[in-house]
Chains A and B, each alone.
Chain A
Amino acid sequence: MRRWTALGALAIAVLATAIVVGPAGLAPGDVLRGLVGRGDPTTIAIVRDLRVPRAVLAFLVGGSLAVTGAVLQALVRNPLADPYLLGLSGGAGLGAVLAIALGLGGAWAVPAAAAVGALAAIALVYRLAVVAGAVLDTRVLLLGGVVVGAFAAALMGAVLALSPAEDLRSALLWLLGGFDTASWRTLGIFAAYAAAPLVLLYRASRPLDLLSLGEEPARFLGADVEPLKRLLYVAASLLTAAAVAVAGIIGFVGLVIPHAIRLLWGHTHRTLLPAAFVLGGALLCAADAVARTAFAPLTLPVGVVTAVLGVPVFAILVRRWSA
Chain B
Amino acid sequence: MERVIFEARGASYRYPGAAAAAVTGAGFRVARGELVGIVGPNGSGKTTLLRLLLGALAPTAGQVLAFGKPAASWRRRELARRVAVVVQREEPVFPLRVREAVTLGRYPHVGPFRPLGPHDRDIVAEALARADATALADRWIATLSGGEWQRVRIARALAQQPEALVLDEATANLDLRHEMEAFELVAALVRDRGLTGVLVSHHFNLVARFADRVIVLARGAVVAAGPPAEALTAAVVERVFEWPVDVLAWRGTRQFIPMRRADATVPHSAGRERSEP
Asked if B95 is an interface residue, CB under 8 A from chain A, the answer is: yes
Closest to A268 in B: B100
The reply to whether the CB of A121 lies closer than 8 angstroms to some CB of chain B is: no
**Contact B112–A214 (Cβ < 8 Å):** no
B25 at the interface (CB under 8 A from A): no
Query: Is the CB–CB distance between B104 and A221 below 8 Å?
Result: yes
B87 contact from A133, A217, A225, Cβ within 8 A: A217
Cα separation A268 to B108 with both chains bound (whole Å): 16
Residues on B with C-beta less than 8 A from A268 are 96, 100
For residue A39, CB closer than 8 A to chain B, the reply is no
In B97-111, the 8 Å CB interface with A consists of: 97, 100-101, 104-105, 107-108, 110-111
Nearest neighbor of A78 in chain B, beta-carbon distance: B93
Distance, CA A82 to CA B104, complexed state (A): 25
Name which of A51-59, A98-106, A201-209 contacts chain B: A201-209
Stretch at the interface among B28-36, B76-84, B118-126, B262-270: B76-84
Q: Does B211 contact A (CB under 8 A)?
A: no
Please give, as numbers and ranges, the residues of chain B lying within 8 Å of A132 by CB-CB distance.
Answer: 16-17
Q: Could you tell me if B97 and A220 are in contact, using CB atoms closer than 8 angstroms?
A: no
| A267 touching B97, Cβ below 8 Å | yes
Q: Which of A133, A207, A267 contacts B95 (CB 8 A)?
A: A267
Contact of B113 among A203, A219, A222, A262 (CB under 8 A): A203
A221/B107 contact (C-beta < 8 A), A216-B56, A267-B94 known: yes
CB-nearest residue of chain B to A259: B94
A222 touches B76 (CB 8 A): yes
Rounded to whole angstroms, the CA-CA distance of A214 and B90 in the bound complex is 7
Contact with B along A247-276 (1 / 0, CB 8 A): 000000000000000110001100000000
Q: Which residues of A contact B (CB under 8 A)?
A: 73-74, 77-79, 132-133, 203-207, 209-210, 212-214, 216-217, 219-225, 262-263, 267-268
**CA distance in complex: A35, B107 (Å):** 47
B54 at the interface (CB under 8 A from A): yes
Asked whether A206 and B105 contact (CB < 8 A) given A219-B56, A262-B94, the answer is: no
Contact of B108 (CB < 8 Å), options: A73, A204, A217, A222: A222
**How many contacts between A and B, using CB within 8 angstroms?**
80
Total count of chain B residues near the partner, CB < 8 A: 34
Residues of B within 8 A of A133 (CB): 16
Q: CB-CB < 8 A to B100: which residues of A?
A: 267-268
A220 to B51, CA, bound (A): 10
Instruction: Give the docked Cα–Cα distance between A132 and B17 (Å).
Output: 9
Q: Contacts A222-B77, A222-B108 hold; do A213 and B56 have CB atoms under 8 A apart?
A: no
Are A212 and B160 interface neighbours, CB within 8 A? no
Q: Are B107 and A206 in touch, CB under 8 angstroms? A: yes
B252 at the A/B interface (Cβ < 8 Å)? no
Give A260 Cβ to nearest chain B Cβ, in Å.
Answer: 13
A212 in contact with B93 (CB, 8 Å):
yes
**Would you give 30 A-B contacts (Cβ < 8 Å), ordered by A?**
A78-B93, A132-B16, A205-B112, A206-B110, A206-B111, A207-B107, A209-B107, A212-B92, A212-B93, A213-B90, A214-B90, A214-B91, A214-B92, A217-B85, A219-B56, A219-B76, A220-B56, A220-B83, A220-B84, A220-B87, A221-B107, A221-B108, A222-B76, A222-B108, A224-B77, A225-B76, A262-B95, A267-B95, A267-B97, A268-B96
CB neighbours of B111 from chain A (8 A)? 206
Q: Is the CB of A217 within 8 A of B84?
A: no
